[in-house]
Amino acid sequence: MVDWEGPLSEAYDRALTYLKGLPERQVGPRATAEELHRALGGPLPTGPTDPREVVEHLAKGVDDGLLPSGSGRFFGFVFGGATPASLAADWLTTVWDQNAGLYAASPAAAVVEDITAGWLVELFGLPPTTSVGFVTGAQMANFTGLAAARHEVLRRAGWDVERDGLIGAPPIRVLAGAERHDTIDRALRFLGLGTNSIVPIAVDDQGRMRADALAEALDADPGRTTGLSGIDRPTIVCAQAGNVNTGAFDPIADICEIAHAHDAWVHVDGAFGLWAAVSPGLRQLLDGINRADSWATDAHKWLNVPYDSGIVLCAHPEPHRAAMSIRAAYLIQDENGERDSLDYNPEFSRRARGIPVYAAVRALGRDGIAEIVDRCHAMAHRFAERLEANGVKVLNDVVLNQVLVRFGDNDAVTRRVVLEVQNDGTCWMSGTTWQGKAAMRISVTNWTTDEADIDRSAGAVLTAAGSVL
């Protein structure tokens, strides 16, 4: 007989203790790497250990090294938390242990993801035929969307990149804002296009791509390709919905109009900003979003689904499938229209990530998701107002959930305040560099963050600043 109850009950008790303690837990790790190595290391085990003892040992060993990113006072890296329904569904996803690559391997996972895909397309206001892939995060969502883009712009130029590769292919140029997220560059490296393919487009003081600069760049180099007379150079334009520092949105409607006039594919990196589409008060930030060709976002940010959970969406299912799908004689692939997820993401065997997303959307509904987005937006404004009222310089227009602040107009002072706040443990936020200057970056993304969290955290930041200045 297998003892499931022992290790699972131990894990449940430990999990509940952790979750209930989050509101008052120190927001930061409490152990050094050396201490964690001592607690968890030792020689390679030669024999078995009781599973319940393993769980107990692991939970005790890691506890002081955890970064409590599920806390309502965690404001670092644009991390979300985990809602009860999505967390519970994630546990069941692990218990069920389904390989969600094929419909044949898990009809239930395939149908859940198909339903969830439809809900997401509706939530974001995208074309109803949009295809969806569930991936690890925005990095792979950007990779997948750009792979579809690479396929399509080369197909239009008469080149089959999946068959013939990139050697000898018409060169692709990628126009992206100077303040794009680094996952765009990394995805282009993975795709073999390289970062030299990027034409950086000038941005305004909030990091938004300037539509006039994009138009000038496209007009300046129509890029007729050698040997393909009359065909414009294959072009991809990368727009951004939610700058990682300021939260600012590129003018997506203008970008789509300009880019499509040059037969370019428009990909939108909306890692967290795409969720603004669910809010009636904020969706105007995404004007024209339905005119883009592909989109990337995260569920483990504003939907507050456990890691890892990213989403890629594509207005053109055929290029999406052409870039991702695979056929093999031993696979049982559905011929009746049911979902084989390996047609939409770069993984083969994969976790059924759509199940926690399904649970989150079903539990919250459109109104619940909008409430989280709107509340975080309001709390970001509250944080900025509390700091600004006490002489702290706010560097950005708080249009969404990001707040950039600077102390004493001095890089060293600002970095010291960030470190003091992290060491204090009342709240946690990271530092960044914005327009060549050090800044504290405050990201309000957690579904539990309320006014008390903001006021307590703002007080801690002001205390830290007072000790440094």
pLDDT (tens digit, 9 = 90+) per residue, 30-55? 999 999 999 999 999 999 999 999 99
Which burial class, exposed, middle or buried, applies to 443 when counting CB atoms under 10 A from its CB (0-12, 13-18, 19+)? Answer: buried
Whether residue 230 has pLDDT greater than 80 = no
* pLDDT of res. 328: 82
Please report, rounded to a whole number, the percentage of residues in the chain having pLDDT higher than 90.
Answer: 94
* pLDDT of res. 256: 98
The secondary structure of 205-234 as a DSSP string is TTSPBPHHHHHHHHHH---PPTTSTTPPPP
Alpha helices in 305-448 (DSSP H): 317-324, 354-388, 411-424
What's the average model confidence in pLDDT over 380-399? 98
Read off the pLDDT band of 221 (50, 70, 90). low
The answer to whether the CB of 115 falls within 8 A of the CB of 358 is yes
Read off the pLDDT band of 336 (50, 70, 90). confident
**What is the three-class DSSP state of 404?**
strand
Which pair of structure tokens corresponds to residue 74? 């965690």
Cα–Cα dist 424/266, whole Å: 44
pTM of the predicted model as reported, rounded to 2 decimal places: 0.96
* pLDDT of res. 432: 98
Half-sphere exposure in the Cβ direction for 340 (13 Å, CA): 18
Cα–Cα dist 442/405, whole Å: 8
Whether residue 438 has pLDDT greater than 70 = yes
* pLDDT of res. 227: 38
Half-sphere exposure in the Cβ direction for 212 (13 Å, CA): 1
Cα–Cα dist 141/310, whole Å: 6
Whether residue 225 has pLDDT greater than 60 = no
For residue 184, the one-letter residue type is: I
Q: pLDDT tens for residues 116-161?
A: 999 999 999 999 999 999 999 999 999 999 999 999 999 999 999 9
Cα–Cα dist 100/161, whole Å: 27
Whether residue 110 has pLDDT greater than 70 = yes
The answer to whether the CB of 86 falls within 8 A of the CB of 447 is no
What's the average model confidence in pLDDT over 410-439? 97
Q: What is the β-pairing status of strands 173-177 and 198-201?
A: parallel
Read off the pLDDT band of 237 (50, 70, 90). very high
Average pLDDT, the chain: 96
